[in-house]
Every structure is written in structure tokens, then in C-alpha cells.
Chain A
Amino acid sequence: MVDVVISGIGQSAVGRKVDRSGIAMTVDAVIAALADAGLDRKDIDGLSTYPGKLTGNLAHFSPVGTHELIEALKLRLDWYNGGGEGGAQQAGLLNAVAAIKAGYARHVIVFRTLKEGSGSLYWQQAAGPSAQRQRVGDRFEYLMPFDALTVINYVAMSMQRHFHLYGTTRRQLGAISVNGRTNAALNPAAIFRDPITIDDYLASRMISTPMCILDCDAPTDSSIAFILSNAEAARDLRSTPITIEAMAGALHSAASWDQTDMPHMGAHDAARQLWSRTALKPTDVDVAQLYDGFSFLTLTWLEALGFCGIGEGGAFVEGGHRIARDGELPLNTHGGQLSAGRTHGFGFVREAVIQLRREAGERQVPGDPQVAIASAGGGPQAGCMLLTRR
């Protein structure tokens, strides 16, 4: 069986607004990842991204696809892949793992670039005044006519149902936001670094009940790139290889936001599949990087991955002691997307690698972390990966 490792990581400047084009930021991230691995671009034979290049109102969500990068770096590829459907934000990684295991490629660049800090999204366009009445079709047709315009509304409804079924409270959930900010203070690249308290959280502006502004991540301009390699091919590289022990992107529940099973969602399907692909157990995990596009999604992942029981996420995170950097399950040690900025799932994988390499500096978790988990997605989409240092 072919083992796949993460052999290089790279990140562009990250900010609310970065004065560089999407492709320029992507090239920055890829050059950094190549240097980290000790590879030349001529060694690269594969390329993968998600969701591929988007145009029109969604251009800021994904301004760069495979074609732009192939041209910009004169890559000569045996395999490449992009597209907007798959195991959530980790789909590009999942596909790269499959390609390497199949022997289609040996060293694959996987990237994700956003210009969301600079730009707007479809729903903002739809809600704005325009000369012509907006007509919508396809996947949001049964949501947007009810002014359910944003994922914030959909996740808020899942939160509300979780609160109802299990007695989860805002005070409990807020510990995830506070923990992220505490960790971000130790991350020089984080967007928000001023500490917040649970009282700040409880007093913050409500967006869509019960979700407040501090439950929402920060749109950014950013690019992150990884090099995934066949472990044999990566043997003599410069960096410490981090093994992808298992990956999963299962979806057994509904594929649309309007029909997904609230509050449990696709995370449970992917998580179940992840543990079926490894001998490791939740208790073996030393550091967890769980998607927090919204704080509630992290709670979902904690339950789905078995770090606590279904419905027990609120009690698990309450007070923040268990999830602190020196707690039993250090969580989102770079600040998460809530505080470090929305890198759309990729920041979690990068931080997992940094922690396993013990290169996290001031925010390095204590002990000798050997196993990390990273997840991405919410609602009907989910992907997760288990990483080990061997």
C-alpha cells in the first residue's frame, strides 16, 4: 500500500485585504511549499484544488483554478483535478491522496486561494438592489425565496435544533470562540489577536438567532498550498514528512442544505468513515483542528468524531479547559478561522502539520504530539483527515 505524506506547506500573506492578485498569492504559497519540501517545480507531476476557478459573483470565493497555476509556473503535469463537488474543502486533498495511491502522480501541489476579504458573494449580490429582480435556480432555489440568503441562516437553524434537543447554551458554545482568540494571540499571522471573554461573546451582536457575530469566521484574502507526496519519493526531502494516516469524505445524508438532517449533518458520515480506515482511536489524538467557519460546526465535529457523545458537545467545551492548549484535547491552536481568518479548511491542515513537526513556537502544544486531526465543512459537506508523525 502506498503511503502518502505531506512533504511541504506554504502560505501567502493573509489579511482582510491583501494587495496582490489571487494568482500572485497562489504562486507565493506554492513557492513557499516547494522550498519547505526541498522540491523544484520540475519535480511536481500533479495538481489539485477545490472548488476550481469560479467566475461572476463567486469569483472572490475561488479566483484561481488549475489552468492559471499551470501557466504561471509552466508546470508539466501527469494528473490534475479541480471542481466544486466533493468532500468539502478537503476534496482537493482527498483526490490528491487517491491519485498518489493509484500511481498517477508522485508529488502533487494542492492549493486553496480566497479573495473573500476583498470581494463579495452571491447572496450579497442577491440581496442588493438591482435593476432587475433576482431569479434563482439550482441548489438555493428552495432557500433564497424565503430570504434564507446565507449559510449563516442554515447553520443557525442547526444550532437552534441542537440547543433544543440537548440543552446546549450560548455560554457553552462561546468557549470555542474564546479559545480560538486565546490561541490567536500566540499566532503572529492571525487576523484577530485581542483577547475576548465569554461575557464579550454573550454581549456580541446577534446575526441570526442564536448565532452572533463571534460565532462567524473572518473572510480573508489568502492562499495555502501543500505538497502531497508518495512516501517513498519523499524519503530524502528536506522537511519532516507527516503521514496521512486516513482520510474520509463520505456523504450518506442529504446533499442539499434544505434537506440535510439538522443538527447532525454530513460530519457524522465522514467521521464514521475516517475511524473505519484506521486502527487509531479518538483517544489517540493529541491535537485537534476542527473546522469553525462557524463555532457550532466545531461542536458538531467534536461529537461526530467521538471526542464526546452526541449532544454532549456543549458540556465538553464549557469553560474551555478541556480544549485549551494545555488541556486534554488542544483545539484550533492557531486561532481557527474565527480568529486566524477564513482559509477555508486549509489553515487547519497546515496547523496540524506545524504542531506535529513541533514548529509552532509559542503556541506549540506541550508534550510530544504524534497524532493530529483536521476537519472541514458543515451542513451537507464534510471531510476529515488523521495525520501522524512517524
Chain B
Amino acid sequence: MSDSYQRPLPILTDENRHFWQGGRDGHLLLLRCRDCRYWVHTPQPRCTNCLSEALTSEPVSGKAEVETFTINIKPWGKGMKVPYVIAVVALPEQPGLRVTTNIVDIDPEAVYIGMAVEVRFEQDEDVWLPMFAPVAN
């Protein structure tokens, strides 16, 4: 039994491996329909727009905008480091395309809605977590 807190990690499956391991090559990969070009996130068996089965993973730009966020203050488990920022970020590739993440490399108090952020990856075991940080400059 370890006393240091470890974040829960996803169970990797054929359906989600692209999302959690694309960061190994520096890419945020989401499913996209080859027929209608619609982005599908979270992963689904078919395109949610046209029901085509022709889904493959493609990289997004990695740019995003903070749609909303919260600074979590309360430690929920032993050894958890607080505060930290949980956010929903909107991806420019498609209206309503959003990812839940952490905003890192910034004072939590400085995060605001509408802030421009970009992806960076944090490896933890066999998972590359897509985190977002303020766009440089």
C-alpha cells in the first residue's frame, strides 16, 4: 500500500487507446468520420453524425480555449496535492467538441474562461494524459 496519491488511470481498450496514447508521438488524436468529416468524442462505435462505420483517429491542432474550469481546493485522498485546475476546453475543430482536462504550468488563480491554451502531455505508466497550458507568448 502506497501513501502517495496516484490519479486514477483509464482502462485502455481498442476504442480509447488512440486518445490516451497519441501523446507518445505528441498528438492529441480524436476519432473522425472519413465520410462526413465529423469529429466524434468521446469515442463511439459509429459516426454520431451520419452513422458511418468509417471512423479513424486523426490529430487535432492541440489548440483550445477554456470553456469553463474549477480550482479544486479539497484533497479527496491522502497525499493529494491541491489546489489544481480541472477544465473543459473547447477545440476549434468543431462546435461542441470539448475535452475535460487539467490546466497546468500556470498559477490556478490566473486561469480564466476564454483563455487560449494548447495541449501538452504528461506520461503516467502507459497513458499520455492530454493536459493544457497557456499558449506561449
Contacts and interface: CB of A to CB of B under 8 A. Distances in A.
- Our verdict on whether A and B bind, yes or no, reads yes
Interface string B52-87: 000000000000000111111110111110001011
Interface size class for chain A? 35 or more
A136 B72 contact: no
B100 A130 contact: no
B8 A158 contact: no
Contacts of B87: 157
Contact of B8 (A134, A150, A210): A134
A276 B115 CA distance: 40
B42 interface: yes
Interface of A: 123-124, 126-131, 133-137, 141-150, 153, 156-158, 160-161, 164, 206-211, 256, 258-259, 262-263
Given A129-B77, A157-B86, A144 B70 contact: no
A133 B88 CA distance: 25
Given A124-B76, A149-B76, A157-B87, A262 B70 contact: no
Given A141-B10, A141-B16, A145-B127, A129 B5 contact: yes
A142 B127 CA distance: 12
A158 B68 CA distance: 7
A153 B70 contact: yes
Interface of B: 1-11, 13, 16, 42, 67-74, 76-80, 84, 86-88, 98-102, 113, 125, 127, 129
A128 B70 contact: no
Contact of A208 (B9, B10, B74): B74
Which of A145, A146, A206, A207 counts the most chain B CB atoms within 10 A?
A146
Nearest to A130: B1
B68 to A, nearest CB: 4
Contacts of B127: 145
